[in-house]
Amino acid sequence: MNLGKLQAKQFSQLLNVHQMNSDKITKGVLLLSSFVILFVAGGMIFSLVEGAIPALKSFGLSFIWSNNWNPTEGKENYGALPFIAGTIITSVAALLISLPLSFSVSLFLGEYYRGTKIAKVLGTMVDLLAGIPSIVYGLWGFYVLRPLLIDLGLPNQGFGIFTASIILAIMIIPYATSLSNEIITMVPNELKEAAYSLGATRSEVIFSVVVPSARSGIIAGYILSFGRALGETMAVTMLIGNANIVPDGFFSTGNTMASVIANQFGEADGLKLSSLIAIGLLLFLLTGIINAIGKFIIKRMG
Amino acid sequence: MKNLALLILTVFILGACSNSSNKQGGEKAGTSKVTLTAAGATFPMPYYNMVFKNYTSEFGTLLTYGGIGSGGGIRSLTDKVVDFGATDAYLSDDKLAAMPAEVVHIPTVLGAVVIAYNLPGVDGLKLSNELLEKIFMGEITKWNDAAIKANNEGLALPDMEITFVHRSDGSGTTYIFSDYMTKISTKWADAVGTGKSLQWPVGMGAKGNPGVAGTISQTEGAIGYIGSEYAFAQKIQTALVQNSAGNYIEPSIASVSAAAKGEIPADTRIMLTNSADPESYPISGFTWIILYKEQNYDGRSKDQALATVTFLDWLVSADAQGQAEKVHYAPLPDAAAEKAKTILRSVTFDGLPLLK
């Protein structure tokens, strides 16, 4: 650490700022970085709104609930409903599929087998899931999961909402699990011991002491993972079938907001480009709303 | 801490080394050379990558090409951030009028769209115009449909669902495919039309040629369309398509090149689909490079302008065209190459032609 001190000393000498104390420097750096973040976020909202204006002008608010996405010249019409529906259905389904899994795993890690070797191994594996690039999930879904689903008799050659939801569920499990696990571990031992001393069984302790005192953190974990499902692109694109229609069932093909942007952005211009940016704006708003709801729930429960 | 400092120092020194070597290389190449920047269509990319590199090693002009899609190529030229753009679909009269200045098209090479399918043991599938319409409009849904059987006597067509795989991204490949479908089927023309991306009556989308090819090869009973450069390189099972003379033609370099043997307008803006040549593969097309006719804009130097047209003149010469087949593209027929050269000689700097 001596070297560090030495460098800091030289640094301050170099700048000739003997009087300036480290508090001031820290404050300045923090202010600057916060300002940069604010500026970037503001700039993104501005450019999204600016780019979306032509589409919103030509289609009005019906852009949100029109299900006609027709890029053919002369018949051009863009409606975001197929993608909004696809995004919400796949994300909600993924959340529902992942819910029992990540909840069980977090209890397993944070309560039942806390601190044991098996919990450490399992915890590492779950964290590892979060680090796998989404294209790898997509490939796995395409070459392993899809043939399996075809064998089970799924229509559309295994492509569609259902397949995409399963992959999304696996992808978001680590987010919900890690956060819930952390919070469950933090529940004070005194609380649990008090319940045990009153004669409560282990499951009673878990469901009437541990989960209630950790619930805001657990919910925050699920909201985080839901937000992640909303924006996921690559793996979904590879499995959802990319049909620009409002899905007419759980096994139907469809498309999501992030996926259609990634797919069509390269060759888009004019009104189509503007419509894609408008979808980006809607996705931004959707994520914002979900976050706001999440914060509200946490506040109510906290 | 000490180790960290050492590491940073090492990285720094290495960085400095590579910097200085870069600089030397740059100076050496940059003494009398210019750098040309281009961007656009992904379809001709393997060809451009190869010939651009060969041109650099032969003549020294540095060339960079960004495969960002035809739309991106047109945008880049509009924004004047490239020396020339590349596109698979020529600019319509409306789009030409919307450009900031007059733009010319130079055809560079020919490609095709093949109909690929996955039916093990069923080779040489013949598809008439009527069958193409019915399959892609979703009217025929089984491979053992009587209409397909009648057209393919002797082939063991299985009792299997037809799964149509199309592109999910906007693409010049889709444009050529749908342009052909529009020409052969009024039903398609009314319901779907021509475009880089479409409202599909049936099927599912996959991203890029690799995506479509991968989905087809992983899915028995699948059919779809793929850029020929990709299909030829991967040796994918392809169907014979009926051309306007009624012949069933297998896609090949020769049959694709034959599509450009007919009459071509002076500005070369023509879709070659459904060509009248009896030997031609009907889903073929040019890919173009686009540039401004007056090269003195945005403070460009005359050297830069001259390097641009000199390179393009080489690109349509026999020298470059001879290399096209290596990467599975069809070379321009002589008449088309002549037209391209004539157009290049109309490109000016301050109103004076750059090439003689």
Token pair of B135 as six digits: 């399959």
Nearest CA in chain B to A150: B219
Across residues B332-349, what is the average pLDDT? Answer: 93
- For an interface test with A, which of B175, B188, B199 has the most A Cβ atoms less than 10 Å from its Cβ? B199
Q: What does A84-150 look like in DSSP terms, one character per residue?
A: HHHHHHHHHHHHHHHHHHHHHHHHIIIIITTTSHHHHHHHHHHHHHHHS-HHHHHHHIIIIIHHHHH
H or E element that contains A50: helix A22-59
Q: Which amino acid is at A62?
A: S
Nearest to B248 by CA among B115, B134, B354, B340: B115
Q: Please name the residues in contact with B273: beta carbons below 8 A apart, sequence gap of 6 or more.
A: B176, B179, B180, B183, B259, B282, B283, B284, B285
pTM score, two decimals? Answer: 0.81
Residues 69-128 (A) with a CB less than 8 A from some CB of B: 69-75
- Band the pLDDT of B19: cuts 50, 70, 90: very low
pLDDT reading at B23 higher than 50: no
Nearest CA in chain A to B219: A157
Which among A147, A157, A243 has CB closest to B205? A243
Give the model's pLDDT for residue B2: 47
Q: What does B303-349 look like in DSSP terms, one character per residue?
A: HHHHHHHHHHHHHTSHHHHTTGGGGT-BPPPHHHHHHHHHHHTT-EE
| Rounded alpha-carbon distances, angstroms, from residue B239 to A236, B16, B219 | 30, 56, 17
Which among A238, A253, A264 has CB closest to B169? A264
Compare A270 and B31 and report the one with higher pLDDT: A270
User: Crossing angle, helix A81-107 and helix A161-186, to 10 degrees?
Assistant: 40
pLDDT tens for B193-216 read 998 889 999 999 999 888 999 999
Q: Which amino acid is at A260?
A: V
pLDDT reading at B5 higher than 60: no
Across residues B164-179, what is the average pLDDT? Answer: 92
Determine the distance in angstroms separating the CA of A290 from the nearest CA of chain B, rounded to an integer: 28
Neighbours of B11 (CB within 10 A): 10
Q: Please name the residues in contact with B155: beta carbons below 8 A apart, sequence gap of 6 or more.
A: B122, B124, B125, B149
Which among B163, B195, B218 has CB closest to A73? B195
Nearest CA in chain A to B88: A267
- Band the pLDDT of B164: cuts 50, 70, 90: very high
Centroid of chain to Cα A100:
18
> Across the interface, do A269 and B222 touch by the CB < 8 Å criterion?
no
**CA B162 to CA B5: how far, in whole Å?**
63
- Band the pLDDT of B26: cuts 50, 70, 90: very low
> Across the interface, do B196 and A71 touch by the CB < 8 Å criterion?
yes
User: Crossing angle, helix A270-301 and helix A22-59, to 10 degrees?
Assistant: 130
Tally A–B CB contacts below 8 A. 92
Q: Please name the residues in contact with A51: beta carbons below 8 A apart, sequence gap of 6 or more.
A: A273, A274, A277, A278, A280, A281
Q: Measure the CA dihedral B132/B133/B135/B137, to 10°.
A: 150
* Chain A residues within an 8 Å CB radius of B203: 243
* Chain B residues within an 8 Å CB radius of A143: 218
User: Crossing angle, helix B334-344 and helix B302-315, to 10 degrees?
Assistant: 170
> Across the interface, do A241 and B204 touch by the CB < 8 Å criterion?
yes
Which among A142, A237, A266 has CB closest to B170? A266
Nearest CA in chain A to B190: A75
**CA A64 to CA B152: how far, in whole Å?**
47
Query: 3-state DSSP call for residue A77?
Result: strand
**CA B238 to CA B113: how far, in whole Å?**
10
Q: Kindly report the length of chain B.
A: 356
Nearest CA in chain B to A68: B199
**CA B76 to CA B63: how far, in whole Å?**
16
* Chain A residues within an 8 Å CB radius of B69: 266-267
pLDDT tens for B104-120 read 999 999 999 999 999 99
- Cβ contact B74:B290 at 8 Å: yes
Radius of gyration of chain B (CA): 23
- Cβ contact A224:A179 at 8 Å: yes
Q: Measure the CA dihedral A187/A191/A193/A198, to 10°.
A: -140
Residue-by-residue pLDDT tens, chain A, 302 positions: 455 565 666 665 666 555 567 888 899 999 999 999 999 999 999 999 999 999 999 999 999 999 999 988 878 899 999 999 999 999 999 999 999 999 999 999 988 888 899 999 999 999 898 889 999 999 999 999 999 998 888 888 889 999 999 999 999 999 999 889 888 988 998 999 999 999 999 889 998 999 998 888 888 889 989 999 999 999 999 999 999 999 988 999 999 999 999 998 877 878 999 999 999 999 999 999 988 888 888 888 76
User: Crossing angle, helix A81-107 and helix A211-231, to 10 degrees?
Assistant: 140
* Chain A residues within an 8 Å CB radius of B74: 269
Region for B317 from its dihedrals, namely left if φ exceeds 0, alpha if ψ lies in -120 to 50, beta otherwise: beta
Which among B192, B199, B207 has CB closest to A237? B207
Nearest to B310 by CA among B299, B298, B302: B302
| Rounded alpha-carbon distances, angstroms, from residue A111 to A120, A202, A203, A222, A295 | 13, 10, 11, 19, 26
Sheet holding B126-127, edge to edge: B126-127, B240-242, B248-249
- Band the pLDDT of B31: cuts 50, 70, 90: very low
Determine the distance in angstroms separating the CA of A128 from the nearest CA of chain B, rounded to an integer: 27
pLDDT tens for B129-153 read 999 999 999 999 999 999 999 999 8
Q: Give the mean pLDDT of chain B.
A: 88
| Rounded alpha-carbon distances, angstroms, from residue B96 to A145, A195, B87, B91 | 47, 78, 13, 6
A30-37 contacts, C-beta under 8 A, 24 or more apart: none
Give the model's pLDDT for residue B69: 82
**CA A98 to CA B218: how far, in whole Å?**
28
Terminal CA-CA length for chain B: 67
* Chain B residues within an 8 Å CB radius of A263: 168-170, 205, 207
Determine the distance in angstroms separating the CA of B353 from the nearest CA of chain A, rounded to an integer: 32
- Band the pLDDT of B24: cuts 50, 70, 90: very low
Give the model's pLDDT for residue A4: 57
Compare B269 and B235 and report the one with higher pLDDT: B269
pLDDT tens for B328-338 read 999 999 989 99
> Across the interface, do A244 and B199 touch by the CB < 8 Å criterion?
yes
- For an interface test with A, which of B9, B118, B177, B204 has the most A Cβ atoms less than 10 Å from its Cβ? B204
Across residues B316-343, what is the average pLDDT? Answer: 92
User: Crossing angle, helix A257-264 and helix A270-301, to 10 degrees?
Assistant: 150
Report H helices in chain B. Answer: 2-30, 45-59, 70-78, 93-98, 129-136, 146-151, 172-184, 186-191, 208-218, 228-234, 253-258, 302-315, 318-321, 334-344
- Cβ contact B86:B310 at 8 Å: no
**CA B325 to CA B47: how far, in whole Å?**
9
Determine the distance in angstroms separating the CA of A251 from the nearest CA of chain B, rounded to an integer: 13
Which among B199, B218, B219 has CB closest to A70? B199
Nearest CA in chain A to B175: A72
